[in-house]
Structure 1
Amino acid sequence: MTTGPASDHGISDGPGSETVAVITIVSGRHRHLRRQLEAFEYSTVRPAVHVIVAMNDPGVDTVVTESAPPGHPMRVVHIGDEPSTLPLAHARNTGARTAIEAGATLLVFLDVDCIPGPVMIERYLRSCAATPELRLLYCGPVTYLPHDQPTFDPRELHRFLDPHPARPAPGPCQTQLSSAMTLFWSLSFAVHVSDWLEIGGFHTGYRGYGGEDTDFAMCAARNGFRIAWVGAADAYHQYHPVSNPPVEHLEDILRNARTFHRRWGSWPMEGWLDGFAQMGLIRYDDTADDWRRTATEALPG
């Protein structure tokens, strides 16, 4: 496998060679996007192309122009929709289609809040090369940085490594296989193009926040896929305010939970739904097997 400075554009040598595309979807979060792009200057493997899908965000072009390192090939795609409801699934599918048209064979999805570790792409490539016959979604550990994070220099972030405890975090040269598909998340993952096409991408019936990750994982499981947790494919999630449960996304979560229930016969995001119920915002209707908004309660704030 070829690794090294900016001249190595995500193409490994030998029979397992891959052309890597990174896909990031964004609406706002320009500071986070800048830090992500700047970090690729220190990546041991550069992607052949980095596709940015901007959702109702014309300012992304300026961020990319100012922040992308030299020799970091970029493509920016703009999509529009209802500003209040982000088309996350559609945006990821658009990014994948653009990357495939550019010749990618391995798709690496990276959330806009995430800063890639220097060996993230290299570790995804090495894990893929070691498991050529298996049907896998490759996921890397994600460390959540605090709001008072002292540095965002990607060469220094390893000092703050603390992977999310709810997900496996194998050793630096290890890959751990798992059938626990509900642990999948789209913050950082890689998938072969052929496998992406077989799974069918993200279901565009989900609009806004919640549900589409678990649905994608269920589709993958139905087709015989497992998760490969890739040690040292680290990403660092930049802080942003969030509530728990995320009441600002209640309408999206409730709508998407119903979509998931219709498709799979079970309720996703149960912790959030239960949290909303405890706050008096929704209630479970046993007769209808449905979660409903309460008539007398309004969202906090």
Structure 2
Amino acid sequence: MQLPVSVVTIVKNRTEKLCHLIQQLEQCAPLPAELVIVWMSPPSDLSLVKSDKFDIVHKFVNIDDLPIARARNKGLTEAKYDALVYMNVDAICAPNFIAAGFNALTNAEVVHTQVKTIANEHWDLSHDAVAALEKHQPATDSSAASNSTIHSNLETPNSQDNDHGKYSNDTICSTVFFISKTNFEKTGGFDEGYSGFGLNDEDFFTNCRTLGFSIHSLPINTYVPSRPNDKCPLNHLIDFVKNTQRFHAKWGHYPRPDILDAYASAGYVNKNYREEGLHVLCVPDDEEPRTAAKESKPVAALSATQLPNTGNLNSGRQRATLLGLSR
């Protein structure tokens, strides 16, 4: 049995996660009617993969690299059915989540699942297998993560963790969420003006709340493997500051004060950003974990509008070079 639901996911390099996602969807009862896959990079051997259980529609682009917001919008806009499900390609979903979300959409404009983080080594397990494992070693409940740094209890935390910030509730919402195409069109989609890392989820769900949409959380767990970008790595500091300024100009307040205050305490941005506007004071040294007590590479104070568009550079050294700093 199928329900008139379009599942949308986007893929760049994690094709093994895509294969796992298709296998999971094929085990759902009832099934979705369609899976829309948006390829963010040139086609691969899997770009024509099919399923005997539901239609798989592949969407391609004519540019070398498709930004996340644009890829999401393409998939959700071009999906066939009015009931839409967006899900991360690495999500491990419950067999009944399609029916639960579809039914809940009758009483809410946006519906999302709970999210729990598991060790990356368990990414290829089924939902039932992860749930059984959780009984012995509970996974991290991301819905309660806004007050603490997240590490899965199924993995050993890195004692030299170099990330500032935690999950936001909106990051949790965006892992797997249901919305009608009509309401998605009312939002205008994900804001494609954000570049690089950070705040696109917060922007989208802030927009949903501003429109008065009710947001309902299903009592169903989705599991996701831990990965570095779950929080806000220091190597994305410049992207995050630029996107923060865009968010502030749009909505009139600063998002994710937990992250901004952590950056300020470490000396990377100004502490009085609420009064004076947000400025980068120094960039992290990528050779070792930073603390507030360690010396950083100073820069002249830059507003987010003055920062270069660095995309997804992973090296603090590369960023420093762009800012004219010697390393």
The answer, yes or no, to whether TM exceeds 0.5 is yes
SS class of match (1:124) = helix
Q: TM-score with structure 1 length normalisation? A: 0.76
Q: Partners of 2:62 and 2:198 in 1: how far apart? A: 20
Q: Which residue of 2 aligns with 1:167?
A: 143
Q: Partners of 1:46 and 1:204 in 2: how far apart? A: 31
Q: Which residue of 2 aligns with 1:38?
A: 23
- Is the 8 Å Cα contact of residues 284 and 290 (structure 1) preserved in structure 2? no
SS class of match (1:22) = strand
- Is the 8 Å Cα contact of residues 92 and 126 (structure 2) preserved in structure 1? no
- Is the 8 Å Cα contact of residues 9 and 36 (structure 2) preserved in structure 1? yes
Q: Partners of 2:97 and 2:139 in 1: how far apart? A: 14
Q: Which residue of 2 aligns with 1:300?
A: 286
Q: Which residue of 2 aligns with 1:95?
A: 75
Q: Partners of 1:25 and 1:151 in 2: how far apart? A: 18
Q: Which stretch shifts more, 41-50 or 275-284?
A: 275-284
SS class of match (1:142) = strand
Q: Kindly tell me the number of residue pairs found equivalent between the two proteins.
A: 259
1:239 pairs with 2:226: yes
User: Deviation of residue 260 (structure 1)?
Assistant: 0.3
- Is the 8 Å Cα contact of residues 32 and 238 (structure 1) preserved in structure 2? no
- Distance of aligned partners of 1:273 and 1:299 in 2 relative to their CA distance in 1, 3 Å threshold: farther
Match of 1:145 among 106, 118, 122: 118
- Distance of aligned partners of 1:58 and 1:20 in 2 relative to their CA distance in 1, 3 Å threshold: same
Q: Which residue of 2 aligns with 1:14?
A: none
Match of 1:266 among 253, 273, 276: 253
Written as runs of structure 1 = structure 2, the 5 A alignment for 1:104-183 is 104-129=81-106, 131=107, 134=108, 136-149=109-122, 152-160=125-133, 165-167=141-143, 183=169
Can you list the C-alpha shifts for 1:48-72, whole angstroms capped at 9, x where unaligned? 211111112422xx23545x54223
Q: Which residue of 2 aligns with 1:248?
A: 235
Q: Which residue of 1 aligns with 2:301?
A: none
- Distance of aligned partners of 1:26 and 1:279 in 2 relative to their CA distance in 1, 3 Å threshold: farther
Q: Partners of 2:23 and 2:230 in 1: how far apart? A: 29
Written as runs of structure 1 = structure 2, the 5 A alignment for 1:205-216 is 205-216=193-204
1:9 pairs with 2:2: yes
Match of 2:176 among 188, 192, 197: 188
- Is the 8 Å Cα contact of residues 39 and 115 (structure 1) preserved in structure 2? yes
- Is the 8 Å Cα contact of residues 117 and 142 (structure 2) preserved in structure 1? no
- Is the 8 Å Cα contact of residues 151 and 157 (structure 1) preserved in structure 2? no
Q: Partners of 1:49 and 1:210 in 2: how far apart? A: 29
- Distance of aligned partners of 1:158 and 1:246 in 2 relative to their CA distance in 1, 3 Å threshold: same
- Distance of aligned partners of 1:226 and 1:163 in 2 relative to their CA distance in 1, 3 Å threshold: farther
User: Deviation of residue 156 (structure 1)?
Assistant: 2.2
Larger Rg: 2
Higher relative contact order (CA 8 A, sep 6+): 1
Letter in 2 for 1:290: G
Q: Partners of 1:77 and 1:289 in 2: how far apart? A: 44
1:77 pairs with 2:64: no
Letter in 2 for 1:165: D
Q: Partners of 1:187 and 1:241 in 2: how far apart? A: 16
Q: Which residue of 1 aligns with 2:157?
A: none
Q: TM-score with structure 2 length normalisation? A: 0.71
User: Deviation of residue 243 (structure 1)?
Assistant: 7.5
Letter in 2 for 1:183: N
User: Deviation of residue 127 (structure 1)?
Assistant: 1.6
Structure 2's unaligned 5+ residue stretches are: 145-167, 288-327
Q: Partners of 1:199 and 1:166 in 2: how far apart? A: 25
1:204 pairs with 2:192: yes
- Distance of aligned partners of 1:105 and 1:160 in 2 relative to their CA distance in 1, 3 Å threshold: farther
